[in-house]
Amino acid sequence: MGCRTEYCIAFLSIFLLSCKEDSDNKDQNVPVYSCMPVTNDWESSQYILPYRVGSEYFVNQANCSGFGHSNFWSHGYDFTMNIGTSITASRSGTVGWATDGCADGNTACTNLITIIHDDGTVALYSHLTNGGVLVSPGEVVEMGDIIGRSGNTGNTGGLPHLHFSVHPCNQLPGLSNAGDCPTIRVNFRNTDPNPDGLEPKRFYGAKDF
């Protein structure tokens, strides 16, 4: 599957737009996306860590940690991973977008997967390696299934990692350009206690679920 150029351009332009919003928050015409809490108990979370049980990875960026995780993208996690690491579905659902064909190291083009859950929320798995998208749109995946391989495509800052975020609807920036589905904060049930979500700058191991 080739990289759809229009998605890449849209993704880049939204990123540039969100950077601009960083410096323009005083302008009342620009939406401000605040840092939100989670409301559920972490032990009953509908999400598991998006990698294999028994493995552990370093959370380099977490919720509201600045840099790429601010404004629209306030909530989400960057797991530092070598290129080619297996990515698993954090929650069951149906594949929405599955775009591949961007070369690792290409900062303007991101390989990504979205999975639409039964309540309409959408998980985004991005920066996947070239050839690392292992599912197709419309495919049903179960929690824990291997869906892709991590990489270093798009705005990674040069650090290979998986970006994982959850959105309240299926109009993600760069995919629909709607810009009205900002990230929401989630926690995970198969790891150490994380009532407010994962903390940055530490490892989290994936346990049985």
Amino acid code (one letter) for 60: N
78: contact with Zn ion by CB under 5 A: yes
Q: Which is nearer to Zn ion, 70 or 94 (CB)?
A: 70
From 33-41, 70-78, 135-143, 188-196, span contacting Zn ion (CB under 5 A): 70-78
163: contact with Zn ion by CB under 5 A: yes
Question: Residue 72 corresponds to which tokens in the numbers above?
Answer: 């629209």
CB 153, min distance to Zn ion, A: 13
From 1-9, 27-35, 146-154, 160-168, span contacting Zn ion (CB under 5 A): 160-168
CB 32, min distance to Zn ion, A: 19
Q: Which is nearer to Zn ion, 43 or 201 (CB)?
A: 201
Size of the site for Zn ion (CB under 5 A): 3
* Dist CA 183 CA 133 (whole Å): 22
Query: Read out DSSP for 119-185?
Result: TS-EEEEEEEEEEEE---TT-EE-TT-EEEEEB--SS-TT--EEEEEEESSS--TTTT-------B-
Q: Which is nearer to Zn ion, 21 or 78 (CB)?
A: 78
* Dist CA 39 CA 76 (whole Å): 16
CB 58, min distance to Zn ion, A: 13
Alpha carbon 168 to its chain centroid, in Å, reads 13
How many residues in total does the chain contain?
209
In angstroms, how far apart are the furthest CA atoms of the chain?
A: 47
From 15-23, 61-69, 99-107, 140-148, span contacting Zn ion (CB under 5 A): 61-69
Q: Which is nearer to Zn ion, 76 or 144 (CB)?
A: 76
Note the residues at the interface with Zn ion (CB under 5 A): 68, 78, 163
